[in-house]
Amino acid sequence: MPLTGLPAKDYLNREDDLSYLRRLADMRQDSLAANVLLLGTRGIGKTELLKQVFREVFWEGREVVPFYYSFKTAALKSSTFARDYFTRFLKQYAAYVKKEPLLVDDAGMSLTRLMPVLSSAGLDWMLDIVDAFQEHAVSGDLYGQILAAISAPAAAAKRGGRRILVMLDDFTASEDLHEARRGDAPGLASLFEESMKNSLCPHIITGSPTARLEGIFSDPSLRKDTERMQLLPLPEDTSFSFFDSLLRKMHITCDMREAIGLIRTVRGNPLYLKNMAKAAWKTKKKELREKDLAECYCHEILDGEISFYWSSVLSERIRTKNLLRTLLRLLMRQMTKEGADDEARLSQVLGIRDAELGQAMEILDGNGLGRHDDPVFEDFVRALYMREIEGRSAGEIRERIGERFGTQRDSSRFEMVIPMTDQAELVAARAVEQIGKNINLEPDLLNYIQLALVETCINAIEHSGSYEKKIYLNFLSTPEQIEITIESPGRSFSLDSLRESPVEEKLASGRKRGWGFTLIRKIMDDVRVERVNDRTRVTLVKKIRNKEALK
Amino acid sequence: MTTSPFQVTSRLVKDVAIVYPRGYLNNLSGEYLVNECGRHAQAGLKKIVVNFHETDLINSIGISFLLNVMEDLQTAGGTLCFTEMKKVHLDTFEMLGLTKYFLFFPDEEAALTALDARKR
Ligand SMILES: Nc1ncnc2c1ncn2[C@@H]1O[C@H](COP(=O)(O)OP(=O)(O)OP(=O)(O)O)[C@@H](O)[C@H]1O
Ligand SMILES: [Mg+2]
């Protein structure tokens, strides 16, 4: 599997990430780098990046052995896992030494058959490591077996004089490692601590959803000596080049202007683009127009590969139809509501019992489904909602999703970083003014949005206890709404902690402060505060009603 | 919104001080405004009109300073009036439930007339 990456020429826009990870072994040995926690939304290209790293390191000849392991395909019963992990490691090591790529994925090669291969590769010392592993197996020492497997790369690095680059994909699935049934052996992930400490075998670890991966790494023993690397969406122009190159291979053409709605909808996610290109191929058209893309999109959302992808993500955690329905209603509420709800309120308006709601919310938050920036996922939810809750026909759903397609065409996104210095918030306010003008927003409304933004920036400055004195802003405007995210390092806070005290109480206090968030909440339709990596992110959303846009 | 550096000036009309805050009213400039008003109060003036005609933006900290000005003046038995506030500023006071604590007038003229009437 690891050697099935895209040809280098088709792999786009990740030169910096790739070259950093390629050199990780050197830098880790010189204490210039730590283990890497590779973060990124679903489908953004985490696995692909690991495959690219694998290939480069495999052929580079710097005496660094690449080892790739995915927990997704792994047998998650721990005894099976131990043997699988161990065998795959040996195979990939031998493949590297013998420069025999086929060996990497040779499923038929059992541990016993591997022994002569190791020997012929001059790796006799490895037989000791195998013996030690087998001893645990024979004596039925499950824990010893797992530990021996996990520490095999470190042991081999010490014995063999070659460093090992350990790449662990879909690491979130490691939470499901178990002895007899799911959940009976929590914390197995922490067994990686020893091996991760070893500077001869740096680890790159990734998986989805980010929230769960971060959860695992909140364990201090894993956290130390680990740095985060965020894989960002492809920029718009790269997204189009990527899509265009996929189409060209199938002798299909598509003008940038026709595709812009799609490009903006997928938000730089190569998985979506790839699936859309495949869907386009099935239409047998030679030249694609926007309406063809809309058709493909509907197909993808309703019953294509994108739908399949998200359905399987949901079904990983959701086992009953009832829970699915609760989840859909919750998601739909989040997507359309104007203003934040607390749990009690939600339970009332949705008519869902507290316990059930709590369970659904946990799934949403734990799997990073609740907070996202992904119109495609939203459309998937919408379609499913229409089917499961509203009982609409496929034709009807198709039509509605089709209508929505392309509303992203007129969206624009700006990013900016401002220092935490006096009056820097005014620079941000000026930016939002121009963005508002670009979409003909009414001046009054703009003034309010500016004020809310200024308040949020001031708040970020006051709350930051960090040495990194910067605020990261992201503006996204569509004809329907303007969304601003404000991220700052430093102490976190939650909306609930900002208790609204009555006006009289504030007036009686000495400093008479504390108006900022009241204002922000009055002005915006939705205000969210969340922790993203080591930053606090405040998201402000203002819906644009018809009369507010000047014609 | 174009924001110029903050400045505060004032002029006297009989026994009324008219104060002109210009630019962005925030924590730093709020301090100036409080001092300027304090100066008038110390000189024995009990009526202050703040003309916001050239104030571009008032942030929430700016508002807390305005509240301080009001409190100081009230303790001294004086009256504070606001004039020529932009709609967004008026709305801000409204949103915060603070409208009832201040006297708002469309222009200086109206404020002066009202203050004059109070005297009698
Ligand atoms: N930089 C890139 N250039 C071109 N294609 C890419 C790039 N990155 C990823 N892809 C393609 O996009 C698709 C999705 O990538 P990948 O499977 O690596 O995502 P992922 O982040 O691992 O997703 P998941 O969260 O589901 O594990 C793959 O088909 C991959 O080949
Ligand atoms: Mg993956």
Q: What is the pTM of this model?
A: 0.73
CA quadruple A155, A160, A164, A169: dihedral, nearest 10:
-60
A258 touches chain B (CB under 8 A): no
B26: CATH? 3.30.750.24
Query: Are A340 and A526 in contact, with CB atoms under 8 Å apart?
Result: yes
What residues of chain A lie within 8 A of the CB of B102, using their CB?
none
Tell me the best of A12, A41, A47 to mutate to test the pocket of ligand 1, counting ligand atoms within 8 Å of each CB and taking the most.
Answer: A47
Taking alpha carbons only, the member of A455, A174, A326 closest to residue B57 is A455
Residue B2 lies in a domain: no
Tokens 């063809």 -> residue: A292
CB count within 10 Å of CB A528 equals: 16
Residue A10, exposed/middle/buried by CB under 10 A (0-12, 13-18, 19+)?
Answer: exposed
Report the number of distinct structural domains present in chain B.
1
DSSP string of A363-377, one letter each residue: HHHHTT-SS---HHH
The residue to mutate among A168, A208, A271, A308, having the most atoms of ligand 1 within 8 angstroms of its beta carbon, is A271
Could you tell me where in chain A the CATH 3.40.50.300 domains are found? 8-230
Helix (H) or strand (E) holding A57: helix A46-60
Residues 6+ apart with CB under 8 A from B39: none
Nearest to B111, CA basis, from B86, B84, B88, B87: B84
Query: If you search the block for the tokens 């007038």, which residue do you land on?
Result: B105
Provide the pLDDT for residue A2.
79
CATH code of A8-230, in short, is 3.40.50.300
A505-534 residues touching B, CB cutoff 8 A: 507, 511-513, 515-516, 518-519, 522-523
Q: Is B43 a member of any domain?
A: yes
Ligand nearest the Cα atom of residue A169: 2
pLDDT of residue A551: 39
Does some domain include residue B67?
yes
Chain B residues touching A455 at Cβ < 8 A: 59-60
Q: Which domain holds residue B76?
A: 7-114
Confidence at residue A361, expressed as pLDDT on a 0 to 100 scale? 87
Q: Are B10 and B18 in contact (CB under 8 A)?
A: yes
Can you name the CATH fold of A411-548? Heat Shock Protein 90 (3.30.565)
User: Alpha-carbon distance A150 to A145, whole Å?
Assistant: 9
Q: Would you call the peptide bond into A235 cis, given omega within 30 degrees of 0 as the criterion?
A: no
Task: Compare all CA atoms of chain A with the CA of B70 and give the residue at the minimum distance.
Answer: A507
CA end-to-end span of chain A:
55
> Which tokens in the block code for residue A11?
């792999």
Q: Which of residues 385-424 of A touch B (CB under 8 A)?
A: 422-423
Chain A contact present for B26, CB below 8 A: yes
pLDDT digits (tens, 9 = 90+) for B12-24: 998 999 999 998 9
Residue type at A259? A
In this prediction the ipTM stands at 0.91
Kindly provide the residue ranges of all beta strands, DSSP E only, lying in A331-438, ordered along the sequence.
412-419
Q: How long, in residues, is chain A? A: 551
Where do you find CATH 3.30.565.10 in chain A? 411-548
Domain presence at residue B69: yes
B72 domain residue, yes or no = yes
Q: pLDDT in tens for each of the 551 residues of chain A?
A: 778 888 888 898 898 899 999 999 988 888 888 899 999 999 999 999 999 999 999 999 889 999 999 998 777 788 889 999 999 999 999 999 999 999 998 888 888 899 999 999 999 999 999 999 999 999 988 889 999 999 999 999 999 999 999 999 999 988 888 887 777 777 777 889 889 999 999 999 999 998 889 888 888 878 888 898 989 889 888 999 999 999 999 999 999 889 989 998 999 999 999 999 999 999 999 999 999 999 999 999 999 999 999 999 998 888 899 999 999 998 998 887 655 567 778 888 888 888 888 888 888 877 878 767 789 999 999 999 999 999 999 999 999 999 888 777 777 888 899 999 888 999 999 999 999 988 888 888 999 999 999 999 998 888 777 677 899 999 988 877 899 999 998 766 655 555 566 777 777 776 666 788 889 999 999 888 877 667 788 989 998 876 555 43
What value, to the nearest 5°, has the Cα angle with vertex A246 and ends A14 and A40? 35
